[in-house]
Amino acid sequence: MNRVFYTYILVDLRKPGRYTYDDCNLSFLYEPFYVGKGTGERYCTGKNDYANRVMKILGPPSLYSILIKFDGVEELLSEDLSFLHEVRFIKQIGRSDLRKGPLLNFTDGGEGPSGLKMSPESRMRMSLAKVGKPQSYQLVASYATRKGKPKSKSHCEAIARSNTGKLHSPEAKEKMSKLKLGRKHTVESRDLMSKSHLGSRGTMTGKFHSEETRKKMSESHKGRKPTDKARENMRIAALSRKNAGVLSTA
């Protein structure tokens, strides 16, 4: 199924008026502030920081978005037309950073082809360029809204599918191990973990080890001496079992 591309124009509902651009046959009742190209819900997603601030104030993009769709043609032609109109509209309306108009676009448009796959080298350069840079307040705010929010069943299944068959490299395992060294669960965390297991049956309930498995376990423990702490834990566990037996017969 072919995707339908479009050129979209976002208008600022706080600035009513008559904004006419005869060269590209456009007329708005509110001042335009951003022009882009996309497919699906692209017009709803984030732009640059300046445009994002305006969008945050105005609310849902569906209230102030104008879409010019190019359907009924091949996908590549649809995308090419959306690019051409994006470049044309930005040029005619004018960019604010160049003091030629109200648009908050930082480029002349026509870039960013859909489905572009970056090489590992490009990804690494982009990653290094962002090291040490603070995240935008919109992104930080989005983390806060997601905190504590349970994932949907479909989301969990998608995560599970994406991780199926993946194995951590020895280097990754070493890093994860070092990160956890010295970490201790808080009293609250331990209490929550304890409550979550109350009433649950162990994985070996009703099951028995085979003779072969028991022999392997016995061989693996030969020559091993428990530490003083382990001895103390075993002594306490034995006393607990003994006291439990006394109470049950009383």
Annotate 12-55 with DSSP letters as a single string: EEEEEEEEEEGGGTEEEEEEEEEEEEEETTGGGS---HHHHHHH
Where do the DSSP E strands lie in the chain? 5-21, 26-39, 65-69
Q: Is residue 79 included in any domain, yes or no?
A: yes
* Overall pTM > 0.75: no
Q: Is residue 244 included in any domain, yes or no?
A: no
Which residues are within 8 A (CB) of 104 and not within 5 positions of it... i.e. 6 or more apart?
A: 33, 34, 47, 48, 50, 51, 54, 95, 96, 97
Confidence (pLDDT) at 20: 92
Q: Is residue 204 included in any domain, yes or no?
A: no
Q: Is residue 57 included in any domain, yes or no?
A: yes
Q: Is residue 149 included in any domain, yes or no?
A: no
Confidence (pLDDT) at 94: 93
Which residues are within 8 A (CB) of 66 and not within 5 positions of it... i.e. 6 or more apart?
A: 8, 9, 10, 11, 28
Confidence (pLDDT) at 54: 92
What range does the domain containing 71 cover?
Answer: 5-93
Confidence (pLDDT) at 156: 79
Confidence (pLDDT) at 75: 63
Confidence (pLDDT) at 141: 64
Give the tokens for residue 7: 């050129």
Q: Is residue 12 included in any domain, yes or no?
A: yes
Number of domains in the chain: 1
Strand order across the beta sheet in which 5-21 lies: 26-39, 5-21, 65-69
Q: Is residue 77 included in any domain, yes or no?
A: yes
Confidence (pLDDT) at 9: 94
Confidence (pLDDT) at 58: 92
The residue type found at 168 is: H
Confidence (pLDDT) at 103: 94
What is the rounded CA–CA span in Å between residue 115 and residue 87?
Answer: 20
Mean pLDDT by 10 residues, the chain (250 residues): 83 93 88 91 86 91 87 69 89 91 89 59 76 67 67 78 82 87 85 80 78 89 84 86 61
Exposure of 104 in the CB half-sphere (CA atoms within 13 A):
18
Confidence (pLDDT) at 178: 86
